[in-house]
Amino acid sequence: MGQVNRFIRGVEDLYELLDQTAKPCVAVLGSFNSGKSTLVNGLLGAEVSPVGVVPTTNCLVALDYGHTFRASYTGVKQNLPFQNMDQLRSFLGSGLKTPAGRVTIEHISPLLKKCRLLDTPGIDGARGAGLLAEQAAIEADQVIYLFHQRGMEDFNRLFLYKLADIWKKKDINKLSFWLNCNHGLCDGSSLETTRTILREIFLSSVRCYTINTHDHASIEAVNLFLQVELARDTCRRAYGRLKKLDHELPGRISKVVKIKEETAFLSEFWRVKETSRVILETGKLLQSLPAVAGELEHTLKTANLENLGAGHKKPEGHIYRPKTTSMKENKKRLLALTADLLAQKTTEGLIDLPAVEIIAREIQSKRFSAAAWGGFSTGKTTFFNALLKEDILPAADGPTTTAVTRITYGPEKKATVHFPLQITLNSCEQVGEKVGIYREQLQALERWLAPGNDAVASVECADGGFFRLLDRQEVLKRIQRVKEHFAAGAFARTAANSSRIPGVFRLISQKANKRNPFLDQVRVTFKEAWSSEFNLSERSGREQFRKVLGPENAFRIEQVVVEHPSEFLRLADFLDTPGLDWIQKYHYPKASGLIRQSDAYLVFFNGKHILPSRRN
């Protein structure tokens, strides 16, 4: 880290040349409980910004340098000063019921001499939090955006489209995104998925790294990243001032040699010498930037590897085991109750005994169904693997359950994947108030209709509320026109002369999409519906099963049925469902219908609801 540290130290002299009131503003954005305030406190080396399990930052928290503690709240109807940190914490903990206003804090920290920090409410917090986050993005010169360990969520995507609009006239290199791997093993799948979606939103590659806000060394890596960014920005800001000073040096030297009084001569000569030194040192600093950038990138990649291999760190929280009874025990009790009712002669004439007999038979033969639902990567599939005591179903940090999976009892371990005869896909999707291209569904259509793929019998396109039969080539041409319609920036200008449209697309308004007559819905009929079986007792069978469940078959699979001889499955079937907040919503209607038909629900929450352990 020699080059990086020398660069940061070397820039210290330049801060005196700049207007300190024009320090850059660094905004920390993300969803609630993603580690924003923990990161801010780690960067400052003190607990200044409020931290908690539930949303604690209900206003903008602006931090600036000060020799002593000073803080105040400015709202629509009130302006409150705080004498100490305890008063401030008390106010932030109970004084704001809805996100509003701004708290300004002056704190003695070396970092705050170089920038102002802006901590923000979670974008998915109470009503108004998103608007405050947008306000912070407008003010910011640089943004640090934190994701939960599971990566991009749908509300993240909606907010990031707004951030992309806000940042159009700003430097995209001033945006950095960080996946907070603070809840145990992180396999890296959510990192790659998040990077892909970020590129689609910002129409170019953006920097996306990992962090663990529970690890001091990881926060230090972010601190180093921020210090280099600020130092680089300082060099750029000081360049104009130094260039002017360089032009003035010959004239200043000429004046110095004419000074006859020794003390005045030495004083002015020393100032000229110091100016010359700063100019020369700045030139060396600018020349060292490529080496500094390379060393910093290596450090962040090393931190990524450490965060992605943090399997030894277990999620924190207190064990909670409420007193419960199983469905099997409840079934026994209900059967015993109906048997007692039927055996007691005193109930004749008071109770419809034939009806009780019917109920008893239904209870005896009934197989219950329990549906697991919640956000993606909340542990639903991991729970079922634990229930079966082996890793049958694919699980990762990112979305892996692409279709509804029924887990039922069977004498042998096997899986059956059902492929339907007919599938209907859409070309566009609603994204907030705008319309975006349904990239994954169009890619699936292109694969199915590609030359050499003879699995498709016919293709129909929606036209005026009815489906009309079209040939493959016509549908492929319409897909190409839809891509041209949504192509972004320079890609749109070259689309007419290109046979291949790059995968970079923009959102358009509802009004603009009315000029898209090319494609709405496509109904694909295959030559046959079929099912594939896999022997899960063998390793090769499990590997083939997981391969079939890959993202390339996300729209082709109708349902998955897993049979297993686990005793847990003798009484009940379980349903594993795709995450409700996943960007891909193709299976939502079917999943929501099956969830409503289930007898019981297992609701899973993501890692941001895990309570941190109490400190000793």
Does the pTM surpass 0.75? The reply is no
Q: How far apart, in whole angstroms, are the C-alpha atoms of residue 31 and residue 96?
A: 18
DSSP designation for 377:
T
Count the neighbouring beta carbons within 10 Å of the beta carbon of residue 567.
8
Is 175 in contact with 143 (CB distance < 8 Å)?
A: yes
Give the pLDDT score at 538: 93
Return the structure tokens found at 127. Answer: 């009503």
DSSP element (H, E) containing 343:
helix 327-343
DSSP designation for 391:
-
Give the pLDDT score at 96: 64
Do domains 23-232 and 368-420+529-609 share one topology? The answer is: yes
Question: Using DSSP, how many helices (H) and how many strands (E) does the chain show?
Answer: 17, 22
Is 502 in contact with 491 (CB distance < 8 Å)?
A: yes
Q: How distant, in Å, are the alpha carbons of 75, 84, 90, 101, 111 from that of 72? A: 10, 10, 13, 11, 21
Is 591 in contact with 404 (CB distance < 8 Å)?
A: yes
Please give the sequence-ordered ranges of beta strands (E in DSSP) within 55-115, or none if there are none. 60-65, 70-74, 79-82, 102-107
One-letter amino acid at 168 equals K
Give the pLDDT score at 140: 94
Count the neighbouring beta carbons within 10 Å of the beta carbon of residue 87.
14
Is 563 in contact with 494 (CB distance < 8 Å)?
A: no
Is 338 in contact with 363 (CB distance < 8 Å)?
A: yes
What are the beta bridge partners of residue 533?
416
Using DSSP's 3-state secondary structure scheme, residue 394 falls into coil
Return the structure tokens found at 44. Answer: 């400052």
Q: How far apart, in whole angstroms, are the C-alpha atoms of residue 557 and residue 562?
A: 14
DSSP string, 355-366: HHHHHHHHHHH-
Q: How far apart, in whole angstroms, are the C-alpha atoms of residue 239 and residue 250?
A: 18
Q: In what order do the strands lie in the sheet with 116-119?
A: 79-82, 70-74, 102-107, 60-65, 116-119, 25-30, 142-147, 175-180, 207-211
What are the beta bridge partners of residue 429?
436
Return the structure tokens found at 437. Answer: 């291209």
Is 402 in contact with 557 (CB distance < 8 Å)?
A: yes
C-alpha torsion angle, residues 363, 365, 366, 367 (rounded to 10): 140
pLDDT beneath 70: ranges in the chain = 1, 13, 15-21, 50, 52-57, 93-98, 309-328, 345-349, 366, 398, 489-503, 515-517, 583, 606-616
Please state which of the four CATH numbers 3.40.50.300, 3.40.50.720, 3.30.420.40, 1.50.10.10 is assigned to the domain occupying 368-420+529-609. Answer: 3.40.50.300
DSSP element (H, E) containing 419:
strand 414-419
Q: What are the extents of the domains in the chain?
A: 23-232, 239-308, 332-366, 368-420+529-609, 433-518
Return the structure tokens found at 501. Answer: 């449209």
Q: How far apart, in whole angstroms, are the C-alpha atoms of residue 300 and residue 529?
A: 49
Is 469 in contact with 458 (CB distance < 8 Å)?
A: yes
Q: How far apart, in whole angstroms, are the C-alpha atoms of residue 341 and residue 332?
A: 14
Is 606 in contact with 397 (CB distance < 8 Å)?
A: no
Q: How far apart, in whole angstroms, are the C-alpha atoms of residue 2 and residue 282?
A: 17
Instruction: Find the farthest-apart pair of alpha carbons in the chain and give their distance in angstroms, rounded.
Output: 127
Label each residue of 443-478 as H, E or C.
HHHHHHHCCCCCCEEEEEEEECCEEEEECHHHHHHH
CATH homologous superfamily of 23-232: P-loop containing nucleotide triphosphate hydrolases (3.40.50.300)
Using DSSP's 3-state secondary structure scheme, residue 28 falls into strand
Q: How far apart, in whole angstroms, are the C-alpha atoms of residue 398 and residue 152?
A: 8
